[in-house]
Structure 1
Amino acid sequence: MSSLKPITFYGHLGATPNPPKVLILLKLLGLPYTHVEKALTDDPTVEDGIKHQNFTSINPNGRIPAITDPNQNDINVWESAAILQYLTEVYDTEHKFSGKDLEERTLINEWIAFQISGQAPMQGQYFWFSFDKLHKAKYGEQAPEHVTVRFKNEVRRIYGVLNTQLEKQSAKGSDWIVADRLTIADVAWIAWSRVVSAVGLDLDELPAFKAWLAKMDELPAVKETYAELNPPATA
Structure 2
Amino acid sequence: MLTVYGDIRSGNCLKVKWMLDRVGRDYRWVEVDIMSGGSRTPEFLAMSPAGQVPIIVLEDGRPLAQSNAILLHLAESTDVIPADAYDRARMMEWLFWEQYSHEPYVAVARFQRLYLGKTEVEGRIMQRGDAALDRLEGALTGRDWIVGEGMTLADIALVAYTRMAGDGGFDLSTRTATRAWIRRVEAALALEPYG
Aligned 1:22-101 pairs, distance under 5 A: 22-41=16-35, 43=37, 49-70=38-59, 73-89=60-76, 93=77, 95-101=78-84
Q: What letter is aligned with 2:13?
A: P
Alpha carbons 1:41, 1:51 under 8 Å: kept: no
Secondary structure at the aligned position of 1:77 is classed as strand
The residue aligned with 1:229 is: none
Q: Which of the residues 216, 221, 226 maps onto 2:185?
A: 216
Structure 2 CA distance for aligned equivalents of residues 62 and 182 of structure 1? 31
Question: Whose Rg is larger?
Answer: 1
Aligned 1:220-235 pairs, distance under 5 A: 220-223=189-192
Alpha carbons 1:42, 1:51 under 8 Å: kept: no
Aligned-residue RMSD, C-alpha: 2.4
Secondary structure at the aligned position of 2:173 is classed as helix
Structure 1 CA distance for aligned equivalents of residues 173 and 111 of structure 2? 25
Structure 2 CA distance for aligned equivalents of residues 132 and 178 of structure 1? 31
For residues 53 and 200 of structure 1, do their structure 2 counterparts lie closer, same or farther at Cα, with a shift above 3 Å needed? closer
Alpha carbons 1:68, 1:77 under 8 Å: kept: yes
Percent identity, aligned pairs only, is: 27
The residue aligned with 1:203 is: 172
1:181 aligns with 2:150: yes
The residue aligned with 1:232 is: none
Structure 1 CA distance for aligned equivalents of residues 129 and 33 of structure 2? 29
The residue aligned with 1:105 is: 88
Structure 2 CA distance for aligned equivalents of residues 132 and 214 of structure 1? 23
Structure 1 outlier segments of 4+, above 4 Å = none
1:9 aligns with 2:4: yes
Structure 2 CA distance for aligned equivalents of residues 75 and 133 of structure 1? 31
For residues 208 and 34 of structure 1, do their structure 2 counterparts lie closer, same or farther at Cα, with a shift above 3 Å needed? same
- CA deviations on 1:76-127 (whole Å, 9 max, x unpaired) are 11010110111123xxx2x311121321210110001111001110123434
Shift of 1:58: 1.4
Secondary structure at the aligned position of 2:141 is classed as helix
- CA deviations on 1:107-159 (whole Å, 9 max, x unpaired) are 11000111100111012343455x385275xxxxx76xxx6322212111111
Unaligned runs of 5+ in 2: none
Unaligned runs of 5+ in 1: 1-5, 44-48, 137-141, 227-235
The residue aligned with 1:160 is: 134
For residues 74 and 99 of structure 1, do their structure 2 counterparts lie closer, same or farther at Cα, with a shift above 3 Å needed? farther
Structure 2 CA distance for aligned equivalents of residues 157 and 75 of structure 1? 37
Structure 1 CA distance for aligned equivalents of residues 99 and 147 of structure 2? 16
Alpha carbons 1:11, 1:66 under 8 Å: kept: yes
Alpha carbons 1:112, 1:188 under 8 Å: kept: yes
Structure 2 CA distance for aligned equivalents of residues 9 and 133 of structure 1? 22
